[in-house]
Chains A and B, each alone.
Chain A
Amino acid sequence: MTGILAIETATDACSVAVFVDGQYQQRHEVIPRQHSQRLFGMLQELLPSGDLRAHGIEAIAYGCGPGSFTGLRIAASAVQGLAYASGLPAVAVSSLACQVQTALRRGQVHSRDTVLSTIDARINEVYGAVYCFRQGLAVLQQGPWASAPADIPVMNAQSLRAVGNGCRFLDKFPPAVRAVLQSSVKQLLPEARDLVPLALEKLRCGDIQSPAQVQPVYVRNEISWKKLSQQGKQS
């Protein structure tokens, strides 16, 4: 089976996994704002050298977001460099999808469920997307969005399970969402090993990236900075 190196740093978790010969090895640490410091130490604990091909790695999967902007750039920059140096393909996987896969593996949701995956977006907003499962793999149904908790635009859900740290805003979710919620798991962060099944499927479909195509998917694209024209000053 294809060997994968996986990196997920969109949340407070800095998570790295290696999947070779059907075996998983993972380093997963919740270390807010220390991802860049720790990432290469974790990689070196899992792989004796950066010669990825020599260690059976054939593709590099990464959580492309949404999440912490800095975290996304750490994963993207690391994967750009590793893919460039090794000549291996990269595979982008949504961090929201990865998290749904983590919840499934832990039995927090089931493969028949429809899942609202959330990540705290700070400044009182959440990232969210809705997934169902096909053959045990998260498949995107709606989203992803960045919105105020009260404005999560979920449509026509009969039944939902919510996961992720965006659930800390649960009491502010729209009434239509709360009415169909079966459960919620607030204490959950995406783990790198759960990128692997999704990445294998993408590889099978040829959905791969060259190093320069490796980029964060921010979802939130507006910034709070004001242009000179909005500052009421001449430019």
Chain B
Amino acid sequence: MLILGLETSCDETGVALYDMARGLLADALFSQVDIHVEYGGVVPELASRDHVRKVLPLLEQVLAEAGCTPQEIDGVAYTAGPGLVGALMVGATLARALAWGWGVPVLGVHHMEGHLLAPMLEDEHPQFPFVALLVSGGHTQLVRVDGIGQYRMLGESLDDAAGEAFDKAAKMLGLPYPGGPHIARMAQRGDPARFDFPRPMVNRPGLDFSFSGLKTYTLNTVAECRQASELTEQDRCDIARAFEDAVVATLVIKCRRALRQEALKTLVIAGGVSANLRLRSALERALDKEGARVFYPAAKYCTDNGAMIAYAGAQRLQAGQVDDEQTRVRPRWPMEELPPLDAAGAA
């Protein structure tokens, strides 16, 4: 069963072909970062305009790469939410048109379920049940996952998402959007002993996060450095390091707490921030001591991509789930509302 996946929820256009028997056959991605960078963030109208230009050429690219013809495609999956409404609509409408034209089923997929299942694309992938830490530009969530569509929210950010915090801190340091990778690069040259940033919420019970205090602390530290002299390159590296250490430490503590609470030994991290190498190694070290294991997607499937949508869609389409007659995009869409995968079709 060969499934086409389309991702257009934000500022990347992703298209991929996933086959239930053969795995991922091809995927193509166009990142709009260069379009939005001069605005310091994603401009929704520009994002939508670019998706309409890029998605069909990317489709032709993946078909050529996979050596497939459109007639071989058995179903179409698209990101139905959460995300930017205008951007979602482009992928949703194209997906429905293709599926209707080809006479195959079509299904709207939850973007965060896509992220959550991205580690399944790896040869060595996790087994259910597990705890997932979703850390992206718009989400910071700890979820108990008992199977596809069986999600229980354990905790989430009360304010900024972790990726958003990275982006805001980067802006304070004069780094371009999206800031996560830039902070990580600068932090490598930072002195971990110079600043001691607070670890938000770690002393409180529970599994929720808060990153806005850290944002303020970063802003104040930048201001203090500026007051002393100019903000030097070393200052920026040291602040980046302290910021990253604080976010990583917070995430690690909460992940460990979640695993203990749920009595599970498998952690999955996904979403853009899961590309962060310091987070990965800190989690590995901490979980090793607990006899637990961490799984994450390949770097290119951490941020938005079509492959994760094709994969998630393939599982659900295989189980017989399809859209009804109305196309619905869901800019906001709690993941817990997703139906479980039919046992008969479970992967």
Contact = CB atoms under 8 A, between A and B. Distances in A.
A43 B326 contact: no
Contacts of B57: 212
A226 B102 contact: no
A82 B40 contact: no
Interface string A46-88: 0001111000000000000000011001101111111011100
A216 B52 contact: yes
B285 to A, nearest CB: 36
A40 B325 contact: yes
Contacts of A76: 52
Interface string B320-331: 000001111100
Contacts of A23: none
Interface in A77-129: 77-82, 84-86
B89 interface: yes
A223 B98 CA distance: 30
A50 B101 contact: yes
Interface in B45-104: 45-46, 48-49, 52-53, 55-57, 59-60, 70, 85-86, 89-103
B95 A81 contact: yes
- Interface secondary structure of A, over-half rule: helix
**Interface size class, chain B:** 35 or more
B56 A40 contact: no
A38 B86 contact: no
B38 A85 contact: no
The CB with the most chain B CB atoms within 10 A, among A38, A228, A231, A234, is that of A228
Contact of B90 (A50, A52, A73, A84): A73
Contact of A79 (B92, B97, B326): B97
B271 interface: no
B235 to A, nearest CB: 15
Contact of B86 (A70, A86, A225, A228): A70
A74 B329 CA distance: 12
Contacts of B92: 36
A41 B101 contact: no
Contact of B40 (A38, A39, A81, A235): A235
Contact of A40 (B86, B89, B91, B100): B100
The CB with the most chain A CB atoms within 10 A, among B56, B90, B93, is that of B93
Given A37-B328, A41-B326, A80 B86 contact: no
A215 B52 contact: yes
Given A73-B93, A228-B38, A40 B103 contact: no
Contact of B97 (A38, A80, A226): A80
The CB with the most chain A CB atoms within 10 A, among B43, B56, B328, is that of B56
Contacts of B329: 36
A99 B125 CA distance: 56
A84 B325 contact: no
A86 B101 contact: yes
Given A36-B89, A223-B45, A233-B40, A44 B97 contact: no
Given A36-B327, A37-B328, A39-B93, A84 B48 contact: no
- Interface secondary structure of B, over-half rule: helix
B174 interface: yes
Interface in A201-235: 211-212, 215-216, 218, 223, 225-229, 231, 233-235
Nearest to A40: B96
B93 A50 contact: no
A37 to B, nearest CB: 5
Contact of B43 (A73, A212, A225, A233): A225
A234 B174 contact: yes
B56 A36 contact: no
A64 to B, nearest CB: 11
A85 B40 contact: no
A229 B100 CA distance: 45
A84 B56 contact: yes
A226 B86 CA distance: 19
A69 B47 CA distance: 12
Contacts of B52: 73, 76-77, 80, 215-216
A86 B86 CA distance: 26
B172 to A, nearest CB: 10
Given A70-B86, A77-B93, A80-B56, A43 B327 contact: no
Given A36-B327, A231-B40, A82 B48 contact: no
Contacts of B98: 81, 84-85
B176 interface: yes
B103 A50 contact: yes
B46 A80 contact: no
Contacts of B60: 212
6 contacts: A36-B93, A36-B329, A73-B49, A73-B93, A81-B97, A86-B101
Interface of A: 36-41, 43-44, 49-52, 69-70, 73-74, 76-82, 84-86, 211-212, 215-216, 218, 223, 225-229, 231, 233-235
Given A39-B327, A73-B90, 13 more contacts: A40-B325, A49-B103, A52-B101, A70-B85, A78-B97, A81-B100, A81-B101, A85-B102, A223-B45, A225-B43, A226-B39, A228-B39, A233-B40
